[in-house]
């Protein structure tokens, strides 16, 4: 049955790229919250594709969509958001397929999203000792850049992939502007939602880096891409600065 758009109808959105060994556990952990799950296979290898077909067959609440060619995590999330709107879901909880996120926070996110329908509810990471030092330093640098790009401290963390999207607002942003589809997506998407006035609420989420976990980060290529993204976001901020400053004064 297609959900009623006039009600609070959340789903989970899991972008998958070669995480065939962990995706079932992620779906199983979400199933106890009665969340339908949109799986987006972003051009994975055949082992993962087979694992996804098995998961799709096992869980009746799954919706599986497939990219024939890898588009990047952002491309998979964009596809998932567009399909979520078509299916009538009002909110989509993005969860990584590698098992990094502690899904016990799902209940809090659901309550916050239901209470604040127009807001994006996002996680900020609480790490254990498994986190690489480079990740922590990179996060601090990104957070500083986002403060500049939004002229605010509204975005506590722009990189955590555990977040509840208000689907309609996100789909209107996707229609209105270009959004990066790879490692630039998470940060750029939040900054552009902020520019459009979308309220954001942040909660702590425990994040682990499993031993033997798969990383798709490419040091040179992705750092160049992220540097270009921040450059264009700063330029975008300059053009929007009168509006952003006026918004700050209005709040205060």
Could you report the per-residue pLDDT of 189-215, keeping only the tens digit for each? 999 999 999 999 999 988 876 555 555
Token pair in block for residue 34: 């009665």
Please give the pLDDT value at position 217. 58
Q: Which strands form 37-42's sheet, in the order they lie side by side?
A: 62-67, 37-42, 10-16, 91-94, 163-166, 120-127, 200-207
Return phi, psi of residue 3, to 5°.
Answer: -60, 155
Per-position DSSP letters for 107-175, written without gaps between them: HHHHHHHHHSTTSEEEEEEEE-TTS-HHHHHHHHHHHHHHHHHHTSS--S-S--S-EEEEHHHHHHHHH
Buried b (16+ CB within 10 A) or exposed e, 38-59: bbbbbbbeeebbebbeebbeeb
Could you report the per-residue pLDDT of 82-134, keeping only the tens digit for each? 999 999 999 999 999 988 778 888 999 999 999 999 999 999 888 766 666 66
- Whether the per-residue pLDDT at 252 is higher than 80: the answer is no
How much of the chain, in percent, has pLDDT values that exceed 90?
Answer: 69
Whole-prediction pTM:
0.88
Please give the pLDDT value at position 129. 66
Mean per-residue pLDDT over the chain, rounded: 89
Please give the pLDDT value at position 1. 44
Could you report the per-residue pLDDT of 33-62, keeping only the tens digit for each? 999 999 999 999 999 999 999 999 999 999
Could you report the per-residue pLDDT of 164-174, keeping only the tens digit for each? 999 999 999 99
Please give the pLDDT value at position 214. 53
Please give the pLDDT value at position 182. 87
120 contacts 236 by C-beta, under 8 angstroms: no
């Amino acid at each position: 049955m297609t959900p009623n758009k006039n009600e609070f109808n959340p789903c989970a959105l899991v972008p998958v790229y070669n995480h065939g060994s962990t995706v079932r556990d992620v779906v199983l952990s979400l199933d106890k919250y009665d969340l339908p799950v949109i799986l987006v296979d972003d051009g994975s290898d055949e082992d993962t594709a087979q694992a996804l077909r098995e998961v799709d067959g096992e869980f009746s609440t799954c919706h599986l969509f497939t990219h024939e060619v890898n588009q990047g995590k952002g491309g998979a999330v964009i596809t998932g958001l567009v399909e979520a709107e078509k299916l009538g879901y009002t909110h989509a909880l993005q969860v990584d397929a590698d098992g990094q996120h502690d899904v016990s926070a799902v209940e809090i996110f659901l309550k916050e999203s239901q209470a604040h329908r127009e807001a994006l509810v996002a996680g900020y990471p609480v790490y254990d000792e498994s986190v690489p030092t480079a990740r922590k330093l990179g996060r601090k640098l990104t957070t500083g850049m986002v403060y500049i790009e939004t002229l605010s401290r509204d975005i506590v963390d722009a990189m955590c992939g555990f977040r509840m999207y208000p689907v309609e607002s996100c789909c209107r942003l996707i229609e209105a502007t270009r959004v990066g589809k790879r490692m630039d997506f998470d940060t750029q998407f939040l900054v552009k939602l902020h520019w459009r006035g979308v309220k954001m609420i942040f909660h702590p989420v425990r994040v682990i880096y499993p031993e033997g976990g798969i990383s798709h980060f490419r040091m040179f290529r992705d750092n160049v891409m992220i540097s270009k993204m921040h450059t264009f976001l700063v330029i975008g901020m300059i053009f929007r600065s009168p509006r952003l400053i006026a918004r700050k004064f209005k709040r205060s």
